[in-house]
Structure 1
Amino acid sequence: MLRLDVLLAIIGMALVTYACRAGGYAVLRVVRPPPFIDAMLRHIPGPLFAAYVALALSNMGPETWLAAAAVVLTQWKTGNLGLSIVVGVLAVAGLRPLLGG
């Protein structure tokens, strides 16, 4: 059953998210950030992703570390993100029974 309060909360959160993103784009169209801020905005996705991955890997077992190595190697050799994801999932699924994870 659809609850009106839940629907309104979801719509409200979607509007606030859109406003935050659109506001950032609007500001950056008008104001040129200093070179340091510009470089930071261009390069921050990589370190954020690395931090998320490092945190996840620190809480996992050796099968996950080996699967991560397989993902990195696949991505490095092929440059295909989809293939890298599939290799990682298959590596974890195959290594867990072997390594007792």
Structure 2
Amino acid sequence: MEIRLDVLLAILGMALVTYASRAGGYAVLRAVRPPPFVQALLRHLPGCLFVAYVTPPLLAGGPPAWAGAVVVIALQLATRNMAAAILAGVGAAWGMHAGLAALGWGG
């Protein structure tokens, strides 16, 4: 196996830029107190990103994905155990998908 210098430099460059962008944000927020609207934005941004990541596959996934989402929400509310809720949701979606495929109603 040959290590190509251009590929190695590209990987190292991307790693450096990624680290600098993350560390730079922490450094700036330590040195400068952001205005209240930025603080509010940072408090609500993770939820917005989660919805943006989850919504398209949920809409495209059909009934198995919806069933999995319902199981995740119900189990999370009942137990407050995110890992168990996600595992149960994936299991429910997989089970419903397999069941529908066995009946000839889906791929």
TM normalised by structure 1 equals 0.90
- Paired letter, 2:12: I
- Paired letter, 1:55: P
Structure having the higher Rg: 2
Give the share of equivalent positions with the same residue, in percent. Answer: 57
Structure number with greater CO (CA < 8 Å, separation at least 6) is: 1
CA RMSD, 1 decimal: 1.3
- Paired letter, 1:49: F
Match of 1:67 in 2: 68
1:35-88 alpha-carbon deviations (Å, 9 max, x no partner): 111111121001110121111111111111011110111111111111112102
- What are the equivalent positions in structure 2 for 1:16-31 lying under 5 Å apart? 16-31=17-32
Q: Secondary structure at the residue paired with 2:61? A: coil
| Unmatched 5+ stretches in structure 1 | none
Match of 2:42 in 1: 41
| Aligned CA distance change for structure 1 residues 40 and 90 (closer, same or farther; 3 Å) | same
TM normalised by structure 2 equals 0.86
